[in-house]
Structure 1
C-alpha cells in the first residue's frame, strides 16, 4: 500500500512538471543579445502602445464640451449627429477638449441625417462616455453609410473618424546601412529635424535582391503584382531622440534592416497626438447573416470607428455591437486599444492595425465571431495583439499588403486558414517576423498545419515563430515554421510583450498590471 501511494505521488509530480511552462530558448537569446548589444532572433515589441508602454493612458481634465449643451438629447428618438459635431468643432477650436456624453442612447445616423461621417480633426480631443455597459452611453448608427464606389467594397467610410493633419514633406535620404534592433540612422542632412519630431522611414523598391530578401526563401507568385511591380514597401514611424551632425538617434529600435542602396527616404510624419475615446458603446444596426464580399453593406456598411494619422492616442473601455467593422487604426503610431468588447451579430472585421507602427491591441474580447478576428493589414510594423480572445469559429486577420513583425501574445481563439484576408495581387498575407507566443487554440486540431498553403492561393505566410502553441493539439508542417518551440506546452515567460517591457524598463508598469488583472 505504501509503495503504491509513493508511486502515485511520484507520477503526480512528474505529470505536473510536464504540464508546467517550459523555459523559452528564444527568450534566453533575446535577454542575452539585449545585454551584449547584439541582434536578437526576435524583434523588440516592447515599444508598442501609448507612449511606448512607458506611461499609463491619462484621465484628462480638459475643458468639458457636454454634447447635451449643444442640443443633443439622449433617448428622445431624434438625431444627435449635428449637436455632436458642434461639440467636436468647439473642442477643436479650443485646441483641446473633453467631448462628454452622459448616459443614454445618442442617435448618429438617422433617416433625417446626411450620409457624411462625423469627423474630428485636432490634437488633445477625447470622447468620454459614461460607461459601455447597458446603462451607460451608446452611440447608435441606425442606417449604414454608402460606399464611395459600390464596386469597391472596401470604400465605405467609418461613421466616426479621428483624422490627423499636417504635411508629409520629404526631409532627407538615408546615407548608410542600419541593422534591425539599432537606434541610429545616418542621413544626407538633418536640416529641419530635431529631438521630439516624428519621422517616417520609407522605402518602395522592386529591386530583385530586395524582394528575394523579403521573401526569405519563399517563392513570389507571378500574380503578386503589388510586391513584384510596385515593390517592397516599408513605412515606419519613429520619434527622434537626438540629432548630432548627420546622425539621428531614434526612440525605438528599427524593426527591419535598412540597405541604403534601395533608396530609403525620411519624411515628416503628418499626424495629431493625444486623442482618445473611452467608456462608450458603439452600436450599429447590422442583423443579417454575414456573407463575405457579398456587397458593400456586408463588408462595411456599419463601420464605426477609425483613427487615421494619430500618435500616442487610445481607445479604451469601449464596446462595439452589431457592426460590420468595429475599429481600424490607419497610418497611426503608438496607439493603444485596451479593454474593449466586440459583440452582437457577426460581421466583417474586428479591431485592426492598418499600415501603422507599434499599435497595441490588448485585452480585447471579440465574442461576435467577426469574419476576421483582431489582427493586421497593410504595411504594419510592430503590432502587438496582447491577451486577445475570440471565438473558436473565427481566426486572426493577416490581410496581406506587407504586414511585418506582428506579435500574437497570449491570444485565445480559433486558428485556421481562410480568415487572414487579402487580394491575390497583394500577397503574401504576412512578411517576416510573425510571432505566435503562447497561443491557446480553441476548436478542432489540425495535423501538419501549413502556413504556406499547398491547397489554396489565399494563405501564404513567411515562416513564422511558433512558441508555446497549445490547446486543441494542432501540429505544424515544420519546414514552414522558422522556429517551433515547446509545441503543446506554454513557455515562460507567459507574455513576451510583458517580459520585453519589464526587461527594458526594469519593472512592469502599474498600468499593465491593472489591465491584466481586470
Structure 2
C-alpha cells in the first residue's frame, strides 16, 4: 500500500522473509543522497560502480608482451585467399607460450567462415588480437566470406555449438560446475557484502566466482505461476499469467551470476566487491561455483567486414515475397543469425576497444561473461537483426558506441543479465521503419535482466522483443538516466510518445513489463513530451520511480561515474597484488 507522508511515498512489501517499508525519493538529488548514505539496500538505486574490466588499473603492461605477427605465419593481405589458418596458428603459438599480442598488420584478411573450422578462435587467457592504425583509422580488416552453416539455435549461453558461435571471431572459455562452497546457513538482504560460507579454502581475493540460487517452488515438469518464489522476487510486482511458462518453468528454476571476491576475512567469511543485488535467502540454497572462463583477452584496432548482402527484414527470408523454398535466396536463419562478427562466452576481465563492425546481422554477442570493457565501437553497413546482445552477462561496461546501421535490436539484454552499464551511445537514424521493423530501441528480451544502467544515450527509447513465454521483458530496478529520445516515438500508433513499448500487451499495461524501474532525467528531442502510461508526471508507484521526466535538469550527467567515484573512496582495491585464477 502507499502512504503519503511528508511528501514522500512509503511502500511496504512482503517478499521473502524481509518486510520492508521503502521511502521513495522525490527527486534525483534525494535518490542519490539515499544511495550515498545507505547503499544499494531496500528499494535504493542499484550499485553500478563495478562494471567493466575490473583490474584495468593493475593489468600487465602489454608493451612487454611477445608479438606474433600473422605475416610470419603465412597470412597474405589483399589476395582474396583464405587467411584464417595463418591467423589461428599465430593465436595458437601465442597461447602455447603463455600469451601475447597477435598483430594483424595493415590490409584485408579473408576468413572462410561457414563452419567452426573456418573461423578464428581464442580459447586461452592473455591473448590480444591487435590491428594497425594508419592515419588515425583502423587499417586492418578481417573479412568474413560465408555465413554460419550451423543448425542449433537456443537460449544464448546454453551451448557453444549454437549456430551464432560460428562468427568471424569466437572467444570461448569453458564452463565448470565445480562447487567451491555454499552459504545456505543465513538469509542475506539486498546490499550485503560480507557473507558467511561453509569453507573458504578454495576462495582467494579478486577471484571471479559464480553464484547460483534455486527457486524451491518451481516444478519444471509441472510449472505453475502460483508456485514461484525467487522469480517473483526478481520481477515484483509483475502479475503472471499462464503464458509466461518458461519464465516460471524450465528457465526460472535456477538464477546465476558472476561476481568477484574482495577479500577472504577468515576461514568462514568473505567479502564481495559488489553488494548483493537481491535478497539471498537460505531456502534458495546459494552455492558458489568455480568460474573457469578465460581472462585478459583483448580485441583492438580492427575492422570486421562480411560478404552479407543485407536487405534485412525482421524474421523474414530474402526475398520476403518468395513463394516457395526454391525461390528463397537467403533463409530466415541466415538473415537473422547467420552473419556474426564477434561471439564471446565464459570470459572475464577483458576488453573490446576501437573496433568497426561493418555489415553484420549480429554484431557482438556476449554470454556467461563478466567484467568486460566494450568501448569505442562503430556499427555500420546494411543494418540487421542485432547490434550488441548480452545474455547472462554481468558487469559489462559499454561506452562510446555509434550506431550507423539500422537494427531490430540495437541494444539487447536478456536472461538474468545484471550490473551492465551502457553509457554514451548514439544512433544516427532514430526513426522506426515499419517495413523492416528496425528502430532506435533499448531491448529487454525476456527472462528478467535486472539492475542494468542505461545513461547518456541519444536517440533511443524502450521497445522490447522476446517470446511471450519468457516475459516479463525485464526484472527489477533497471535504470534509465539522462537519455534523450527521438523527436517522434511512433512504434505503435496507439502509444504515441510512450517511453516504454512492447507488443506483448495493451498500451495501458506496457510499462508493467518493466517492473520496479528507475527513470531519471529522460526527455524528448525538440521538447517532445514523453509519457509513461499516458502521463508525463513524476511519480513513484509499485512499478516505477520516475523523477525529472522531460527535464535535462539533473544533478549530474553520469550515475556510473558518480558511483565509481564514491566506490573508490569507500571500497578501494585491497593492497595485495591482484590474483587472476587460471
Tell me the TM-score normalised to structure 1 length: 0.86
- Are 2:168 and 1:159 equivalent residues in the alignment? yes
Residues 375 and 362 (structure 1), Cα distance of their counterparts in 2 relative to 1, 3 Å cut: farther
Query: 1:435-454 counterparts in 2 under 5 A?
Result: 435-445=479-489, 446-447=496-497, 449-450=499-500, 454=505
Partner deviation per Cα, 1:341-394 (whole Å, 9 max, x = no partner) = 101111111122221110111111111122111231222110100111123132
- Are 2:266 and 1:203 equivalent residues in the alignment? no
Structure 1 match to 2:568:
505
- Are 2:461 and 1:461 equivalent residues in the alignment? no
- The answer as to whether partners of 2:138 and 2:301 remain within 8 angstroms in 1 is no
Give the Cα–Cα distance (whole angstroms) in 2 for the partners of residues 382 and 397 of structure 1.
16
Identify the range of structure 1 (157-166 vs 335-344) with the bigger mean alpha-carbon deviation.
157-166
Residues 437 and 53 (structure 1), Cα distance of their counterparts in 2 relative to 1, 3 Å cut: farther
- The answer as to whether partners of 2:234 and 2:448 remain within 8 angstroms in 1 is no
Residues 448 and 100 (structure 1), Cα distance of their counterparts in 2 relative to 1, 3 Å cut: closer
Structure 1 residue 405, shift from structure 2 partner = 0.7
Q: Give the SS at the match of 1:89.
A: helix
Query: 1:399-478 counterparts in 2 under 5 A?
Result: 399-417=445-463, 420-445=464-489, 446-447=496-497, 449-450=499-500, 454-455=505-506, 460-471=513-524, 472-477=528-533
The match for 1:234 among 241, 251, 255 is 255
Structure 2 match to 1:42:
45
- Are 2:376 and 1:367 equivalent residues in the alignment? no
Q: Give the SS at the match of 2:82.
A: coil
Q: Give the SS at the match of 2:407.
A: coil
Give the Cα–Cα distance (whole angstroms) in 1 for the partners of residues 441 and 58 of structure 2.
31
Residues 289 and 375 (structure 1), Cα distance of their counterparts in 2 relative to 1, 3 Å cut: same
Structure 2 match to 1:178:
188
Give the length in aligned residue pairs.
Answer: 482
Residues 272 and 78 (structure 1), Cα distance of their counterparts in 2 relative to 1, 3 Å cut: same
Tell me the TM-score normalised to structure 2 length: 0.77
- Are 2:342 and 1:305 equivalent residues in the alignment? yes
Give the Cα–Cα distance (whole angstroms) in 1 for the partners of residues 421 and 59 of structure 2.
17
Residues 166 and 425 (structure 1), Cα distance of their counterparts in 2 relative to 1, 3 Å cut: closer
Q: Which runs of 5+ in 2 are unaligned?
A: 1-26, 157-161, 218-227, 317-331, 431-438, 490-495, 536-540, 573-582
Structure 2 match to 1:27:
32
Say what the alpha-carbon RMSD is for the aligned residues: 2.8
Identify the range of structure 1 (224-233 vs 79-88) with the bigger mean alpha-carbon deviation.
224-233
Give the Cα–Cα distance (whole angstroms) in 1 for the partners of residues 61 and 388 of structure 2.
22
Structure with bigger strand share is: 2
Residues 449 and 139 (structure 1), Cα distance of their counterparts in 2 relative to 1, 3 Å cut: closer
Partner deviation per Cα, 1:108-161 (whole Å, 9 max, x = no partner) = 1279x8864322111100000013976611101121111323799973322311
Structure 2 match to 1:489:
551
Structure with bigger helix share is: 1
Q: Give the SS at the match of 1:331.
A: strand
- The answer as to whether partners of 1:46 and 1:501 remain within 8 angstroms in 2 is yes
Residues 192 and 23 (structure 1), Cα distance of their counterparts in 2 relative to 1, 3 Å cut: closer
- The answer as to whether partners of 2:84 and 2:118 remain within 8 angstroms in 1 is no
Q: Give the SS at the match of 1:229.
A: coil
Give the Cα–Cα distance (whole angstroms) in 2 for the partners of residues 152 and 49 of structure 1.
24
Give the Cα–Cα distance (whole angstroms) in 2 for the partners of residues 123 and 209 of structure 1.
38
Partner deviation per Cα, 1:34-67 (whole Å, 9 max, x = no partner) = 4xx9656101101000116756896543110100
The match for 2:395 among 341, 358, 379 is 358
Structure 1 residue 424, shift from structure 2 partner = 1.9
- Are 2:294 and 1:292 equivalent residues in the alignment? no
- Are 2:424 and 1:387 equivalent residues in the alignment? yes
- The answer as to whether partners of 1:33 and 1:39 remain within 8 angstroms in 2 is no
Structure 1 residue 415, shift from structure 2 partner = 1.6
Query: 1:62-77 counterparts in 2 under 5 A?
Result: 62-77=65-80
Give the Cα–Cα distance (whole angstroms) in 2 for the partners of residues 39 and 85 of structure 1.
49
Identify the range of structure 1 (287-296 vs 125-134) with the bigger mean alpha-carbon deviation.
125-134
Query: 1:69-218 counterparts in 2 under 5 A?
Result: 69-109=72-112, 116-131=118-133, 136-149=139-152, 155-157=163-165, 158-165=167-174, 167-174=176-183, 175-205=185-215, 207=217, 208-218=228-238
Structure 1 residue 293, shift from structure 2 partner = 2.2
Give the Cα–Cα distance (whole angstroms) in 2 for the partners of residues 268 and 404 of structure 1.
23
Partner deviation per Cα, 1:192-232 (whole Å, 9 max, x = no partner) = 22333321111131523333323312211212122212335
- Are 2:232 and 1:223 equivalent residues in the alignment? no
Identify the range of structure 1 (348-357 vs 68-77) with the bigger mean alpha-carbon deviation.
348-357
